[in-house]
């Protein structure tokens, strides 16, 4: 079977097609014939060496990828609810050669849900990791209907899902966008859109003088946006940022690995994709042989939706 990975860390050109041995599903696991794997920023860290210290225990190749979609072709002992031939999506925690960029992938059944009805493999692959990250952020912020949420990086996949899921939770959402992305962020459901970048906190206070109840920082602005939050409010980061306490704000970090086995939450996202609550956005599909182009496009910035690697 083929995979896309790196033997030596480097730029996008370091990605190559790699032959790996066949694997089989063990107890509690399913094997997926992968047709699509989404390209996320975290994948570039596996490729470029930013996570080399974490990879030391495993020999190369290193295969990135946290989202996969395809068809189940093997069901392990003790697994119920799935059958061979089911179209599914899965979240993956990469380790060594175990990443989503491979034709055949074994994962815990608890990391898998059926693909949204009517979605392509590429579309379904964009939902698990980003969708669960957004869901976890909102769960950590613990806001209730009628409260206010600020979102940075709202035009991105994580930010877009946060906006849509927050609206489904009954929150009032103020989000950032460039001029080019304002219509997109409004279409995702933001109640108020303000300019992205410097001055975000001041813009938020212009609409909510006491500050918002919570902030999901998809743009990783960190302490720059704290002033947008009310005293005693809540903030969650997506890159492990954990500041010192200030003004009674509840600071949390969103690590999607905490929801790796939350099948019910992944299946709820499937339902929300089917009913239109969340939008599956594919920027472009690349064959596995051109995976380096997908990484280069992501790192160039400005991608709206996700690039997807196809194994067909």
Evaluate the CA torsion angle 70, 73, 77, 79 in order and state its sign. Answer: positive
pLDDT band at 106 (very low <50, low <70, confident <90, very high): very high
Looking at the chain, the whole-number percentage of residues with pLDDT higher than 70 is 100
- Structural domains of the chain, ranges and CATH numbers in brackets: 2-127+280-310 (3.90.180.10), 130-257 (3.90.180.10)
pLDDT band at 244 (very low <50, low <70, confident <90, very high): confident
The whole-angstrom separation of Cα 283 and Cα 278 is: 16
**pLDDT tens per residue, range 76-85:** 999 999 999 9
pLDDT band at 45 (very low <50, low <70, confident <90, very high): very high
Transcribe 74-127 into DSSP letters.
Answer: EE-TT--S--TT-EEEEE---BTTBSSSBSEEEEEGGGEEEPPTT--HHHHHTS
Half-sphere exposure of 184 (CA within 13 A, CB side): 19
Are the beta carbons of 196 and 220 closer than 8 angstroms?
no
Residue 60 three-state SS: coil
The whole-angstrom separation of Cα 88 and Cα 99 is: 16
The whole-angstrom separation of Cα 158 and Cα 118 is: 22
Are the beta carbons of 76 and 109 closer than 8 angstroms?
yes
The whole-angstrom separation of Cα 210 and Cα 164 is: 24
**pLDDT tens per residue, range 65-74:** 999 999 999 9
**pLDDT tens per residue, range 191-226:** 999 999 889 999 999 999 999 999 999 999 999 999
- Section 42-57 average pLDDT: 92
Please give the mean pLDDT across all residues of the chain.
97
Tokens 């906006």 identify what position? 163
- Section 123-132 average pLDDT: 98
pLDDT band at 242 (very low <50, low <70, confident <90, very high): confident
User: Per the confidence metrics, is the pTM higher than 0.95?
Assistant: yes
Backbone phi, psi, residue 17, to 5°: -75, 135
Judge whether residue 227 has pLDDT over 90: yes
């Amino acid at each position: 079977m083929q995979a896309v990975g790196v033997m030596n860390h480097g730029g996008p050109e370091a990605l190559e097609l790699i032959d790996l041995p066949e694997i089989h599903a063990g107890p509690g696991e399913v094997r997926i014939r992968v047709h699509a794997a989404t390209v996320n920023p975290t994948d570039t860290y596996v490729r470029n060496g930013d996570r080399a210290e974490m990879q030391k225990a495993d020999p190369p190749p290193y295969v990135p990828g946290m989202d996969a979609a395809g068809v189940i072709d093997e069901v392990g002992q003790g697994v119920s609810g799935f059958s061979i031939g089911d179209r599914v999506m899965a979240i993956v925690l990469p380790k060594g050669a175990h990443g989503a960029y491979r034709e055949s992938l074994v994962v815990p059944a608890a990391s898998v849900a059926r693909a949204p009805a009517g979605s392509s493999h590429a579309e379904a692959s964009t939902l698990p990791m980003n969708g669960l990250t957004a869901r976890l952020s909102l769960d950590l912020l613990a806001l209730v209907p009628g409260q206010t949420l600020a979102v940075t990086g709202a035009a991105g996949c994580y930010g877009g899902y946060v906006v849509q899921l927050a609206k489904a939770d009954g929150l009032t959402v103020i989000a950032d966008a460039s001029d080019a992305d304002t219509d997109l962020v409004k279409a995702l459901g933001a109640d108020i859109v303000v300019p992205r970048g410097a001055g975000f906190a001041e813009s938020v206070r212009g609409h909510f003088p006491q500050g918002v109840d919570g902030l999901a920082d998809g743009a990783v602005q960190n302490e720059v946006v704290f002033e947008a939050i009310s005293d005693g409010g809540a903030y969650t980061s997506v890159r492990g940022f954990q500041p010192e306490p200030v003004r009674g704000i509840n600071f949390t970090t969103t690590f999607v690995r905490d929801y790796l086995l939350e099948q019910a939450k992944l299946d709820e996202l499937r339902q929300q994709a089917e009913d239109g609550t969340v939008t599956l956005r594919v920027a472009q599909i690349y064959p596995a042989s051109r995976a380096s182009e997908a990484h280069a496009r992501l790192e160039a910035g400005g991608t709206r939706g996700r690039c997807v690697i196809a194994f067909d």
